[in-house]
Amino acid sequence: MHAQRRRFMIAGLMLATLAGLTHPAQAQAEQAYPTRPVRIITDSAPGGSIDVPTRIIAESLSRLWGQQAVVINQPGAGGAIAVRTVTAAAPDGYTLGVAGVSAFVALPGTADNLPIQVPRDVTPVGYVGGAPMFITAAPWLHVKTLPELIALAKQKPGELSFGVNGIGRLTHLTGELLQSRAGIKLLMVPYSGGTAQILTDMMGQRVALVFDAYSGINGAVDAKNAVPLAVASAKRLAVSPELPTVAETLPGFEAVGWQALIAPAGTPDAIVAKLNADLIKAMSDPDAKKRLGELGRDDRAMSPQETLTFIQGEQAKWAPIVQQIAGVH
């Protein structure tokens, strides 16, 4: 009996000793993070409205860390492929994701793993920024303002088409919100090739309207291949002060595409906290701040908890439109 008790005591002492050795080593590793390249997965196609700012932030993080932050594009399945990569990764901070509003408010049943539920599926790290949607029309449509578009749509119910980057994504939600608020009927056309493909079809007179952030449509606007009618922000933007907001025609209308940096569920709090602090530093870098500002993006700093609260608020905000779409499809 005494021998058995002695064995238990020795085993307990050994476990305590091992724990004492492991925890400082783990803490030291977390403090030194990152010690190798970090993957940042995005569901955006290269050059898309999420890809461009993600690469700006990744460059800034790489300078800060002295380690590469490597952006990996995994578009497809409404964002589910990218989300699956993040959720299946080891929770060690070396595989992260940049997920947009569409991944959190996606139409249930359209793709596996979507919509993302936080904090069950992933750990929110921080707010990456956001940019309002622009309502743009094809030049051949011959409309210059949002009221002109609404009037034309009422004359041709169901005839004017708008391209979207997938069922239930923000481009789709924006179109549904516009139809609901303006009392019009448009024709939704889904695409898998991103806004660039939609804009190509716009030039070919196959699509009349495109809704996307500035970084997605600015090239077409500069080339006179798309006409901006209004921006779905709360107030006019510094990058285009002459462009009216949608709310000036439809009071209260707002549609902003935002992104959050996410990590696999179970990522240590110390790594999440460091990532959040480094993200804020990277976005505050003068060069990154200038380049992001030129895209018409906001750069509010949020803690992981504030990011979680923000995401849940956005999910509640868009729920009625998602339910409306679900009733149609």
Q: What is the pLDDT of residue 38?
A: 98
For the four alpha carbons of 200, 201, 202 and 205, in that order, the dihedral sign comes to: positive
Q: What is the pLDDT of residue 315?
A: 93
From the centroid of its chain, how far is CA 133? 13
Q: Reply yes or no on whether the pLDDT at 140 is more than 70.
A: yes
Q: Reply yes or no on whether the pLDDT at 7 is more than 70.
A: no
**Spatial separation of the C-alpha atoms in residues 245 and 181, rounded to whole Å:** 14
pTM score of the predicted model: 0.80
**Spatial separation of the C-alpha atoms in residues 134 and 123, rounded to whole Å:** 30
Could you tell me whether strands 161-164 and 256-264 are parallel, antiparallel, or unpaired per DSSP bridges? unpaired
pLDDT grade for 193, boundaries at 50, 70 and 90: confident
**Spatial separation of the C-alpha atoms in residues 105 and 311, rounded to whole Å:** 9
Q: What is the mean pLDDT of residues 168-195?
A: 92
Check residues 190 and 113 and name the one with the higher pLDDT.
Answer: 190
Instruction: At 66, give phi and psi (nearest 5°).
Output: 75, 15
Residue 19 burial (C-beta neighbours within 10 Å; 0-12, 13-18, 19+): exposed
Q: Reply yes or no on whether the pLDDT at 8 is more than 70.
A: no
**Residue 20 lies inside a defined structural domain of this protein:** no
- The region of weakest confidence among 147-151, 207-211, 290-294 is 290-294
Do 225 and 154 lie in one domain? The reply is: yes
Domain that holds residue 204: 134-248
Q: What is the pLDDT of residue 22?
A: 47
Which alpha helices (DSSP H) does 33-182 contain, by range? 51-65, 80-88, 101-104, 146-155, 170-182
Q: What is the pLDDT of residue 297?
A: 85
Do 320 and 227 lie in one domain? The reply is: no
Do 263 and 303 lie in one domain? The reply is: yes
**Spatial separation of the C-alpha atoms in residues 308 and 317, rounded to whole Å:** 14
End of a domain among 223, 248, 273? 248
- DSSP labels for 172-197? HHHHHHHHHHHT---EEEE-SSHHHH
Q: What is the pLDDT of residue 165?
A: 84
Do 120 and 158 lie in one domain? The reply is: no
For the four alpha carbons of 306, 73, 237 and 151, in that order, the dihedral sign comes to: negative
DSSP state at residue 167: T
Do 112 and 163 lie in one domain? The reply is: no
Check residues 303 and 131 and name the one with the higher pLDDT.
Answer: 303
Tens-place pLDDT, residues 231-277: 999 999 888 899 999 999 999 999 999 999 999 999 999 999 999 99
When the pLDDT of each residue in the chain is averaged and rounded to a whole number, the result is 89
Closest-CA residue to 115 (of 267, 316, 324, 329): 316
Check residues 295 and 156 and name the one with the higher pLDDT.
Answer: 156
**Residue 222 lies inside a defined structural domain of this protein:** yes
Do 95 and 155 lie in one domain? The reply is: no
Do 215 and 146 lie in one domain? The reply is: yes
Do 262 and 126 lie in one domain? The reply is: yes
Do 40 and 79 lie in one domain? The reply is: yes
**C-alpha distances in Å from residue 33, one per residue of 122, 123, 240:** 20, 17, 40
Q: What is the pLDDT of residue 24?
A: 55
**C-alpha distances in Å from residue 153, one per residue of 150, 208, 210, 225, 226:** 5, 11, 15, 20, 18
Contact 26, 34 (CB under 8 A): no
Q: Which residues are registered as beta bridge partners of 227?
A: 137
- DSSP labels for 229-293? EEE-SSS--TT-TTSPBGGGTSTT---EEEEEEEEETT--HHHHHHHHHHHHHHHHSHHHHHHHH
Give the CATH number for residue 109: 3.40.190.150
| Residue 123 tokens, joined | 């750990």
Do 208 and 310 lie in one domain? The reply is: no
**Residue 318 lies inside a defined structural domain of this protein:** yes
Q: What is the pLDDT of residue 214?
A: 87
Percent of the chain with pLDDT over 70: 90
Do 152 and 298 lie in one domain? The reply is: no
Q: Reply yes or no on whether the pLDDT at 76 is more than 90.
A: no
Q: What is the mean pLDDT of residues 69-94?
A: 93
**C-alpha distances in Å from residue 72, one per residue of 40, 116, 156, 192:** 6, 19, 42, 18
Q: What is the pLDDT of residue 329?
A: 55
